A and B are shown apart, each in its own frame.
Chain A
Amino acid sequence: MSTHETTQTNSTNVPEVTDPILEIRDAEVYFEMDRGVSRVLDNVSVDIERGEVLGIVGESGSGKSMLASALLDAVVDPGVLSGQVTYRPGDGSAIDVLGLEKEELRQLRWEDISMVFQGAMSSFNPTMKVGGHFEETLEAHDYDIDEGMERARELLADLYLEPERVLDSFPHELSGGMQQRALIALSVVLEPNVLVMDEPTAALDLLMQRSILTLLEDLKEKYDLTLVFITHDLPLIAELADRLAVMYAFELVEIGTSDEILNDAAHPYTRSLLNATPNLDAPLSEMQAIEGAAPDPVNVPTGCSYHPRCPLSDEECVAEDPAFRPTFTESHQVACFHWQDSAEVIPFNIDRPEAHEVDDE
């Protein structure tokens, strides 16, 4: 499994992982609009390690949901997706996701790679009991119903729900937190290998979000899942995620282990984002908003798209788009020419162990 031939045209380096379950190469999505071409995902390449929790973090309009759709070839018309997505089930085979026929894709989507979106209410059919959704899903994929429903009950119990009561309820009879957990159970009932979650907890209050995250951790262990968790909320996912990937203006700008990102964030945007996040531990005077606004997809700045907001930017940043480069470690990569200066120019406002010399495992 080589990831070498990817150092092609735009010299995209990808941090290597030992056993990738998904490989995304040069994924690009654009829409033709009256105002011009709107590029909402711009040459994103990333590997997802089998069994890891990858947190993809970005603000609204950073392209993070587009990346999720791209993973499953689910970009809606008139969006045009190009690039390559390779799925490796683990038996040595490699599946070209974007080249699949409709029927093959339908199977892959629930049975191998499953997805949970934000807002459970709109994912359920309001006139069908929750149990009906499980049966229908099992049936549509030719799974054994009795066995599947047994698994459903266990999953619901794992998520701190009363299985019989929930299966016998209509969606509106459950609270938002219960619906969202039932939806997670539904998405895992066909025993997928990968679960992609797009802001699965955003509409819920913090206590429920946090509780669901601890439950996901257990679920992941028990069912051997690879989790891709997409969110705008960096602090929320930081604890659960093994690695974090930060998106800005439709591109990936930094990737590394959660510790590396939290303690040694190298991209000026990541550092400012961490400083802008209201936090219970930071001294109050030190929180700072990021000046300026994220760019319009039709009109992304030249060079590094963060340069108009970046305190470190110079002519080089305006002229040229920085490629990924390794920082303190090979696993921690950043798309910035001046990452070495970022810690000095943008110091963190809370004490974190600036841990680049410590190599933690």
Chain B
Amino acid sequence: MSSDEPLISLENVEVHFEEQKGMFEFFGEPDVVRAVDGVSLDIEENDVVCLVGESGCGKTTLGKTSIGLQRPTGGRVKYKGQDIWDAKDKKGNVEIPYKEIRRSLQIIHQDPGSSLNPNRRVMKILEAPLRRWHKQMSAGDRREQVLTMLERVGMTPPDDYAGRYPHQLSGGEKQRVALVRALLMDPDVILADEAISALDVSLRVEMMDLMLELQDQFDTSFVAVSHDLSNARYFAAHGGGRIGVMYLGQLVEVGPAEEIINNPKHPYTKVLRWATPNLKDEEAGEPPVRKIDIPDPKNPPSGCRFHTRCPEAREACRQEKPAQYEIDDDHKAACFREVSDHEYWESPEITDEEETTPAASSD
């Protein structure tokens, strides 16, 4: 465990799901959904990484893989230099036991309501992880710690909240309880899976502020998964972190939050920027994509996966997969347009074979 190892390191991670075929298709090849395909990313201590993208782009799968909840089908995931799945399988020389890794990597779910047991009071819910991980702790200390944490996340008076059932809490309060539950483990990383977007607009900033405050106090890193670029920006920029943009299982652009927002390089990042409503009354105009539906992840397009929708796509994009090109320290984009002498610039533009104009498509 050398100290220069990143907290979490993803190396060329692949997660492929096989889809079960029906009885009558028994002999066919199973469909493979490539949820994550060749992603490398490091998460440092006290870091914030926001993964953004459309539904089905693999951001949640990547998030779960990064905290060891999803076993990758290829590549490696390391926690302080220790391969998480080797630790789990007790393979080779395990320096950090799996149990400790598991405790260090926590998750808050999208829907706080369904992640809390409806039949237990808040105190009971929050005591459970302490009971499990700190067996020597006395009941009094446990209660004490739960109450302190409740107070810390602004649920005062803590005694009152500790005695409530989940249905007696508002959405924001449930999310706080979920956050406390994760924090009680004293984790290094918390994955917040769309934990913000389920809340009302007026509560989002408050919740993000709270998480950032706790990041400071407890030195916790956050991986946040969101489809909303403005939430991601707020969270990542305040936490001094990065935004990673995913498209069909691949990381197409990653960089410091303000860079991604103000200086997006990948055409897909620009699309997400367009899709984020702002309050100035500017005309947004037509979506800057050639097709509004995302292709089937079972059969992703060749070359650059965005070429079927990209307004800038040329023949080269169909043929070849772009690498991650460095734009600045920390800011990378997987697009040929960042390479001034790439053959992309010489190759012909891709024009859509059929139906660019929707009205013309009666059979």
Q: Report A's interface with B, CB cutoff 8 A.
A: 59-60, 153-154, 157-164, 175-178, 204-211, 214, 232-236, 238-239, 258-259, 262, 272-274, 276-281, 284, 287-290, 293, 350, 352
Contacts and interface: CB of A to CB of B under 8 A. Distances in A.
Given A204-B55, A239-B277, A289-B204, 19 more contacts: A154-B362, A157-B359, A157-B361, A162-B361, A163-B362, A175-B56, A205-B55, A205-B227, A206-B227, A207-B54, A207-B287, A210-B275, A232-B200, A238-B277, A238-B279, A258-B281, A281-B278, A289-B202, A293-B170
Given A207-B54, A280-B229, A287-B205, A154 B287 contact: no
Nearest to B207: A289
A259 B81 CA distance: 55
Contacts of A207: 54, 271-272, 275, 287, 289, 292
5 contacts: A176-B55, A211-B287, A214-B284, A238-B277, A238-B281
A273 B358 contact: no
Contacts of B261: 280
B233 A278 contact: yes
A29 B274 CA distance: 39
Contacts of A293: 170, 172
B294 interface: yes
B286 A214 contact: yes
Interface residues of B, number: 52
Contacts of B231: 278
Contacts of B294: 175
Interface centre among A236, A273, A284 (most CB of B within 10 A): A284
Given A278-B230, A280-B229, A232 B201 contact: yes
B274 A210 contact: yes
A154 B359 contact: yes
B134 interface: no
Contacts of A272: 202
Given A175-B294, A273-B202, A352 B279 contact: yes
Contacts of A204: 55
A273 B203 CA distance: 10
Contacts of B284: 210, 214, 239
A158 B202 contact: no
B287 A277 contact: no
